[in-house]
Amino acid sequence: MPKTFGYGASQPPISKRTETHKERRSGSVRKSPWVLIIFVLIGGLLGGILGEILHAMAPQGTIQSIFATNFNPGISPPLTIDLVLIKLVLGFNIKVNILSILGMFIGIYLYKHV
């Protein structure tokens, strides 16, 4: 049988291989980092919405004070660049509460186990 040209270790002909390409891929699926970002964003969004609902619906007391606690990392006031022809305003603000963080962790858990 003629040798084939290739770099690295030579592989046996296709007929002698023990597993196919599909069999190798089914054992370990590589997940995209974009899917992780989507899971984290959706989990944080749903947790933030639930936190806002519980903040509005919960009776006055400890539970409402827990859900009312949030922090806002971001650029405040926004950065303004006036170039006479164009005025650029750059900034962002994120409102994070306890349930949005919990939702992000649930998103990571689902990403790893789904």
Are 80 and 88 within 8 A, CB to CB?
A: yes
Report if residue 16 sits inside a domain. Answer: no
How many domains would you assign to the chain? 1
SS3 7: coil
Q: For the segment 16-68, what is each residue's pLDDT rounded down to a tens digit?
A: 555 555 555 455 567 889 999 999 999 999 999 998 888 888 888 887 788 77
The stretches of the chain forming alpha helices (DSSP H) are 21-27, 33-57, 62-68, 98-113
57 closest CA partner among 47, 67, 48: 67
- Average predicted confidence (pLDDT) for the chain: 81
Report if residue 84 sits inside a domain. Answer: yes
Report if residue 53 sits inside a domain. Answer: yes
Report if residue 25 sits inside a domain. Answer: no
Report the predicted TM-score, pTM, of the whole model to 2 decimal places: 0.64
Report if residue 44 sits inside a domain. Answer: yes
Report if residue 49 sits inside a domain. Answer: yes
Domain hosting 97: range is 32-113
Report if residue 24 sits inside a domain. Answer: no
